[in-house]
């Protein structure tokens, strides 16, 4: 398996965990609010936040990756080898 595939898979698991952890991002209203707070445009936050996807699929969405960059996880104390 290539190194980039492993890195993407690791990041996807961590982002998925952010969505699952204590059901913080479970409600649509909460998803939209958190995406708006993190700088995503309103139209994209609403369409992404109201999507009926689980945490694993939401971790692949472009706007979620913009809202939760690698620096966010670094500030939480999670260290990725590629940062």
Which tens digit of pLDDT belongs to each residue from 66-79? 888 878 878 877 76
CA distance 61 to 16: 11
Cβ atoms of residues 48 and 35 within 8 Å: yes
Place of tokens 């980039």: 4
Per-residue pLDDT tens for 17-48? Answer: 766 564 677 788 988 998 999 999 999 999 99
Backbone phi, psi, residue 26, to 5°: -75, -40
pTM of the predicted structure, to 2 decimals: 0.72
CA distance 60 to 48: 11
Planar angle of CA 21, 39, 23, nearest 5 degrees: 15
Count of CB atoms within 10 A of residue 30's CB? 13
């Amino acid at each position: 398996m290539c190194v980039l595939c492993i890195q993407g898979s690791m990041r996807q698991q961590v982002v998925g965990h952010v969505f699952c952890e204590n059901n913080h991002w479970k409600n649509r209203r909460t998803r939209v609010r958190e995406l708006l707070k993190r700088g995503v445009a309103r139209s994209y936050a609403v369409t992404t936040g109201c999507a009926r996807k689980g945490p694993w699929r939401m971790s692949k969405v472009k706007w979620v990756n913009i809202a939760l960059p690698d620096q966010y996880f670094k500030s939480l104390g999670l260290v990725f080898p590629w940062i």
